[in-house]
Chains A and B, each alone.
Chain A
Amino acid sequence: MSAAGIFATWAAALALVAMALAVTRPNVVHALIWVVAGLLSLAAGFFALGAGFAGAVQILIYAGAIIAVFVFVVMTIDSGPEAIARERARLAAGWKGPLVLMLLVLAPALLGLLAGPGGQGDGAPLPVPARTLGMLLFGPWALAVEAASAMLIAALLGARHLARREGGR
């Protein structure tokens, strides 16, 4: 495995740990911070894989914009100590089952992946310049991109409707 590969794996592993912490925090804000940490680690991994555009988008949009929206929402609700205690109690009550379930899903995936024909090729990630990506997105994939924008519009329409004031027009 090349050095870039090792670094990317390391970064992704960090991200996994961060995400694991995120889903187990009773405090929403802490969880969000761990998510951001995980996303940033992933971005680092993307850079190491030579996917600079993806890394940049990850930092800007994901870790930046989306989480910011989260934080805004979190700030509208109070998460006092009793809310955190309640959350902790709920988590403590039922984490074993989900864990087993998670392992159940993971096990065949891991077994399958590790049994696969590993170690072929030169092992180094191949960098993809942003330009070729642009050629793809605005060339053959143009329709898909348009459709993705339709997806955003749909989400927007829905969110706008939901955000309408009670008894609004």
Chain B
Amino acid sequence: MSGFLTAALVLAAGLFAVGLFGLVARRGVLFQIIALEIMLTGPALAFVAAGAHHGDPAGQGMFVFVLVLAASEVALGLALYLRLARHADAGDSDTIRELRR
């Protein structure tokens, strides 16, 4: 495994972890969606770097799919955010807890 791939994978894990941090630490729905996007950039980087390492187009192919997923999630997530904001304080996801226990 070449050096840059290891570095890229480490950074990808970092991106993923940062996104996870955002997901756990932030209470605003919007921030959480942003954190999700950041989480997804981790695998994106990893795929592209691995593709470059293997000289294989499949890495970039998977990147495209990740991108599609990110786009879909943003679309659904933002629509949901707008809808939620009518019912609840979407700035604080902790208040959205009718379903529990």
**Which residues of A line the B interface, CB within 8 A?**
1-2, 4-6, 8-9, 12-13, 15-16, 19-20, 22-23, 28, 31-32, 35, 38-39, 42, 45-46, 49-51, 53-54, 57-58, 61-62, 65-66, 69-70, 73-74, 76-77, 83, 86-87, 90-91, 94-95, 97-99, 101-103, 105-106, 109-110, 113-114, 116-128, 132-133, 135-137, 141, 144, 148, 151-152, 154-156, 158-160, 162-163, 166
Cβ-closest chain A residue relative to B24: A98
Would you call A128 and B57 a contact (CB within 8 A)?
Answer: yes
Per the bound structure, the CA–CA distance linking A104 and B65 in Å amounts to 28
Would you call B3 and A105 a contact (CB within 8 A)?
Answer: no
Q: A118-B1, A127-B52 in contact; A61/B11 too (CB < 8 A)?
A: no
Would you call A38 and B26 a contact (CB within 8 A)?
Answer: no
Would you call B41 and A86 a contact (CB within 8 A)?
Answer: no
Q: A1-B4, A57-B67, A118-B3 in contact; A158/B41 too (CB < 8 A)?
A: no
Per the bound structure, the CA–CA distance linking A97 and B14 in Å amounts to 17
Chain B nearest CB from A147 CB (Å) reads 9
Cβ-closest chain B residue relative to A157: B76
Classify chain B: how many residues form its interface, as a range: 35 or more
Chain B nearest CB from A59 CB (Å) reads 12
- Which residues of A are found within 8 Å of B58, using beta-carbon distances? 136
Q: Which 10 A-B pairs have the closest CB atoms?
A: A5-B4, A126-B55, A23-B22, A155-B72, A125-B52, A98-B25, A162-B79, A159-B79, A49-B52, A1-B3
Q: Does B88 contact A (CB under 8 A)?
A: no
- Which residues of B are found within 8 Å of A128, using beta-carbon distances? 51-52, 55-57, 59-60
- Which residues of A are found within 8 Å of B52, using beta-carbon distances? 8, 49-51, 125-128
